Amino acid sequence: MRLVNWRRWLADDRTLTEQLRLQLGHVGSSVVPTLLLAPLLLWTLVNARNAAWLTAWCAAIVLIKLFYAWDAERTLRIDLATAHPHRVVVRQMVLNAIDAVAWGALAWVTLDDSSVAGSILVVAVLAGVAGSSMASLAPVLPVFIAFALFEFAVVGTKLWLLGNPAYQALGIAGVLYIATLMGQARSSARAARAAIDLRFENLGLIEQLHASAAEAQAARLEAEQASLAKSRFLAAASHDLRQPIHAQGLFLEVLARTRLTTTQYDALANARATWQASAEMLDTLLDFSRIEAGVVEPRLQPFQLQPLLNKIENELAPQADAKGIVYRSIDTEVVVQSDPALVALVLRNLVSNAIRYTRRGGVLVACRRRGGQAVLEVWDTGIGIDPSQHQAVFREFHQLGNAERDRRKGLGLGLAIAQGLARTLQQELTLSSRPGRGSVFRLSLPVAPLGTLARRPAPTPVDAQGFDVRVLVIDDDESVRTGMQQLLTAWGCQCDVADSIEEALTLARIHVPGAVISDYRLRGQRTGAEAIAALRAECGEALPALLITGDTAPQRLREARATGVPLLHKPVLPAQLHHGLQCVLHRVELDSNFALLENLPRTTSASL
Decide the pairing of beta strands 326-329 and 373-380. unpaired
Whether 594 contacts 295, CB under 8 Å? no
Asked whether residue 211 is assigned to any structural domain, the reply reads: no
pLDDT at 76 over 50: yes
What is the torsional sign of CA 394, 399, 405, 411? negative
User: In this predicted structure, what is the pLDDT of residue 583?
Assistant: 86
Q: How far apart are CA 186 and CA 184, in angstroms?
A: 5
Residue of 542, 477, 548, 546 lying closest to 512 (CA atoms): 542
CATH of the domain at 335: 3.30.565.10
Alpha carbon distance 74, 414 (integer Å): 73
Hey, how many other C-beta atoms are within 10 angstroms of the C-beta on 224?
10
Examine the domain organization and report whether 435 and 361 are in the same domain: yes
Phi/psi of residue 36, nearest 5 degrees: -85, -40
The answer to whether residues 277 and 418 belong to one domain is no
pLDDT of residue 80: 64
Provide the pLDDT for residue 517. 92
208 occurs within a structural domain: no
* Span 312-331, average pLDDT: 86
Mean pLDDT of 288-317: 74
**Dist CA 428 CA 419 (whole Å):** 8
pTM of the model: 0.42
| Cβ–Cβ < 8 Å for 242, 250 | no
Q: Is residue 186 part of a domain?
A: no
The whole-number pLDDT of residue 257 equals 72
Does position 484 have pLDDT exceeding 80, yes or no?
yes
pLDDT (mean) for 497-511: 89
Please indicate, yes or no, whether residues 383 and 281 belong to a single structural domain of this protein: no
- Same domain, residue pair 410 and 469: no
Count helices and strands in the chain by DSSP H and E runs: 17, 12
Contacts 24+ apart (CB under 8 A), 198-202: 199/18, 200/14, 200/15
Give the pLDDT score at 572. Answer: 77
Alpha helices in 324-392 (DSSP H): 340-356
Considering 162, 182, 216, which residue would you say is the last residue of a domain?
162
Contact 339, 307 (CB under 8 A): no
| Residues 23 and 79 placed together within one structural domain of the fold | yes
In this predicted model, which residue has the larger pLDDT, 94 or 234? 94
Q: If you average pLDDT over residues 434-455, what whole number do you get?
A: 77
Core vs surface per residue 81-111: b (16+ CB within 10 A) or e: eeeebeebbbebbebbbbbbbbbbbbbbbbb
Per-residue pLDDT, averaged over 85-106, amounts to: 86
pLDDT, residue 463, reads 43
- Identify whether 438 is part of a domain: yes
CB burial of 316-329 (b: ≥16 within 10 Å; e: otherwise) equals bbeebeeeebebeb
Q: What would the pLDDT profile of 18-60 be if each residue is shown by its tens digit? A: 777 877 887 878 888 888 888 988 888 888 888 889 899 999 9
Question: In sequence order, what are the residues at sequence separation of 6 or more whose Cβ sits closer than 8 angstroms to the Cβ of residue 471?
Answer: 488, 493, 494, 495, 496, 513, 514, 515, 516, 517, 581
pLDDT at 184 over 80: yes
> What range does the domain containing 255 cover?
240-295+462-608
**Does a structural domain hold residue 457?**
no
Verify that 63 and 128 share a domain, yes or no.
yes
Residue 210 counted as domain residue? no
Per-chain mean pLDDT for the chain: 77
Looking at the fold, whether 12 and 141 belong to one and the same domain comes out as yes
Q: Are residues 505 and 555 in the same domain?
A: yes
Asked whether the beta carbons of 411 and 397 are under 8 A apart, the reply is yes
pLDDT digits (tens, 9 = 90+) for 572-603: 778 888 888 888 888 776 654 434 333 333 33
User: Do residues 440 and 432 make contact, with C-beta atoms less than 8 angstroms apart?
Assistant: yes
Q: Which residues contact 577 (CB under 8 A, 6 or more apart)?
A: 487, 517, 568
CATH value at residue 263: 3.40.50.2300
Report yes or no on 168 lying in a domain: no
> Angle at Cα 160 formed by Cα 158 and Cα 164, nearest 5°?
110
Neighbours of 482 (CB within 10 A): 17
In a domain, 309, yes or no: yes
- One domain, residues 356 and 414: yes
Q: Of 391, 370, 366, 246, which is closest to residue 309 (Cα–Cα)?
A: 366
Over pLDDT 70: what percentage of the chain? 76
* Closest among 237, 236, 274 to 252, alpha carbons compared: 274
DSSP labels for 102-146? HHHHHHHHHTTT--HHHHHHHHHHHHHHHHHHHHHHTTSHHHHHH
Examine the fold and report which residue of 417, 446, 475 is the final residue of a domain before the chain moves on.
446
Q: How far is Cα of residue 72 from the mean position of the Cα atoms in its chain?
A: 50
Specify whether 333 is located in the same domain as 410.
yes
* Whether 343 contacts 445, CB under 8 Å: yes
User: Into how many domains does the chain fold?
Assistant: 3
Cβ pair 544, 584 in contact under 8 A: yes
Average pLDDT over residues 211-226: 82
Say whether both 497 and 575 belong to one domain. Answer: yes
Which residues are registered as beta bridge partners of 438? 434
Asked if pLDDT for residue 458 goes beyond 70, the answer is: no
Tell which of 162, 188, 205 closes a domain: 162
d(Cα 445, Cα 302) in Å, to the nearest integer? 11
Rounded to 5°, angle at Cα 340 from 366 and 425: 90
Sorted by sequence, the CB contacts under 8 Å of residue 402 that are 6+ apart come out as: 409, 412
- Same domain assignment for residues 318 and 418: yes
- The pLDDT, as a whole number, for residue 566 is 84
- CA dist 461 and 34 (Å) reads 107
| Calculated CA dihedral for residues 479, 485, 491, 496, nearest 10 degrees | 160
| pLDDT average, residue stretch 91-117 | 86
User: Average of pLDDT values for 173-179?
Assistant: 85
Rounded Cα distance between 560 and 551, Å, is 9
Beta strand 470-474 with 515-519 is: parallel
pLDDT number for residue 59:
92
